[in-house]
Chains A and B, each alone.
Chain A
Amino acid sequence: MFLQQLINGLMLGSTYSLLAIGYALVSGVLDLVHIAHGEVFMLGAFIGLQLVLFAKVNFFVAMLGAMTATLVLGIFIERAAFRPLQKGDFLSPLISTLGVALILQEFARNVFGAHPVGFPASFQIKSYQLGFLTVSTLHLIIIGLAFAMMAALHLFLTRTTFGLATRATAENALTARFMGINVNVVVVATFAIASAMAGAAGVLLGLAYNAITPVMGTQIGLKALAIIVLGGFGNITGAMAGGIILGLLEVMSVAYVSSTYRDAFSFGIIMLILIIRPTGLFGHRVHSEQ
């Protein structure tokens, strides 16, 4: 059923988008790839799960708790793995965040175990039958929350002065300084926002698939990287569209092609799009500085 797959794809894609737009935000502001972003997402999923299992809080409180924890983690990563390396080689932060990724992954494996775990079944999922469509509360919660957060980020970036300063910094940090913008504050805020969104995405995806593992950050993080390149590096709208596209491609390929070729199929399509549009869907043509 095509419409049913569309809704499933939208659910998966909206969590990808949520992870990817934060990634795009950080990449755009720093002109760098933050390898550990996927691990922040993974820890968000684990923290949300722990809060549900041991603190017995409801799902929404758990998600807020996970977001707060990953927000703090993001600020810490900026301090430890980016700020001290500003004057170094442009590859140094790549390696330092790879280090952070490995540390977080092994930490998660040792503390939470390597076996996939999931949210308890006590989450009552109601399903609604709309003609031949099945829409569950899971679909509604995930799609609703993901889009609400993306809309909030959009409003922040386009309607607030600090959001404008963030976009200016993403385009050119030195010129932003000439405007009186404190670029360090923008960078920290960007890390905080992106990491909180990654934490939320982790909890939502954990809820959707019920298979939280320490390596999910690497798998999904790589997809998020593909998404932000597909969308046009550093472009927020592109990252959102790219996430939805990948989610739809994966679900459709499982439904209509073959589940064992899911990633090969969807990445094949991404390659095709990039061959046609090397700067990504929403990429701006590269222009030389000065």
Chain B
Amino acid sequence: MLELVEVTTHYGPLRILHRVSLEVRAGEMVVLLGGNAAGKSTTILTILGAVKPTSGSVSFNGEAITGLPTEQIIRRGIALVPEARRIFRRLSVRENLALGAYRRRDGKDAIGADLELVYSLFPRLKERERQLGGTLSGGEQQMLALGRALMARPQLILMDEPSMGLAPALVEQLFELIATLHRRGLSIFLVEQNANLSLSIADRAYVLQQGSIVLSGTAAEVLANDQIQRAYLGA
């Protein structure tokens, strides 16, 4: 479904990603693990065309999307739960959700049905539908960011460190929800520092270190790896 082949990205003279190759198959949940500044967010921005790779290619459903404008990549069926949530603080909860469905052309009824679906998943959002995004708590903003991505009815969701800045209890709730969405058939590409939780719900994993993929395999294999145990799980 999503494939990166030998992607190298620079910010000015600085090399951020070095020949990164990875793949997300339909229905899969893949996690990309890495510490701070390993290049996780850059990987997401490169997939979405917000950063142009110096070399290598990105394809979605077999078609090259390398170098396309962001909005065209989004229109092909990819949605993003951005780093730090990036909800629209000056727009209402309902307007934020409506923007998630912006690229859709399948009619008001289908979008309305999905709005009800998101509200049933997050009743809190329905209670606050007229409130401005900026007045929500951190946890509620994360729900809104996730709900907004679901409103796109995407084939693939990219999530950039959704656990960041959330209390541990909320993180567990969030990961349970992500696992549920995955079981319902959604393809997910999750970028995380929280190795333990994300490996417990993912199918496969890649480990990114200083811009290079240093390890990949099934979630169980990666979890069992000594290096990972030492580097991420403190074992």
Contact = CB atoms under 8 A, between A and B. Distances in A.
A177 interface: yes
B75 A180 contact: yes
Most buried by B among A167, A168, A287: A168
A178 B48 contact: yes
B19 interface: no
B93 interface: no
B contact patch SS: loop
Most buried by A among B71, B80, B134: B71
6 closest pairs, A vs B, by CB? A180-B103, A180-B74, A177-B70, A290-B84, A175-B86, A179-B99
A232 B71 CA distance: 30
Given A164-B95, A179-B99, A181-B102, A172 B88 contact: yes
Interface of A: 161, 164-165, 167-168, 171-172, 174-183, 284, 287, 290
Nearest to A185: B71
B152 interface: yes
Nearest to A167: B91
A284 B99 CA distance: 21
Interface residues of B, number: 25
Nearest to A176: B99
Given A174-B50, A181-B102, A168 B88 contact: yes
B91 A177 contact: no
A contact patch SS: helix
A175 B102 contact: no
B86 A161 contact: no
A33 B30 CA distance: 44
B34 interface: no
A178 B148 CA distance: 11
Given A177-B50, A181-B71, A182-B71, A172 B99 contact: no
Given A172-B88, A287-B134, A165 B99 contact: yes
Contacts of A287: 89, 134
A165 B102 contact: yes
B147 interface: no
A25 to B, nearest CB: 14
Nearest to A182: B71
B151 to A, nearest CB: 9
B130 interface: no
B22 to A, nearest CB: 21
Contact of B88 (A161, A171, A182): A171
B89 A171 contact: yes
Contacts of B100: 179
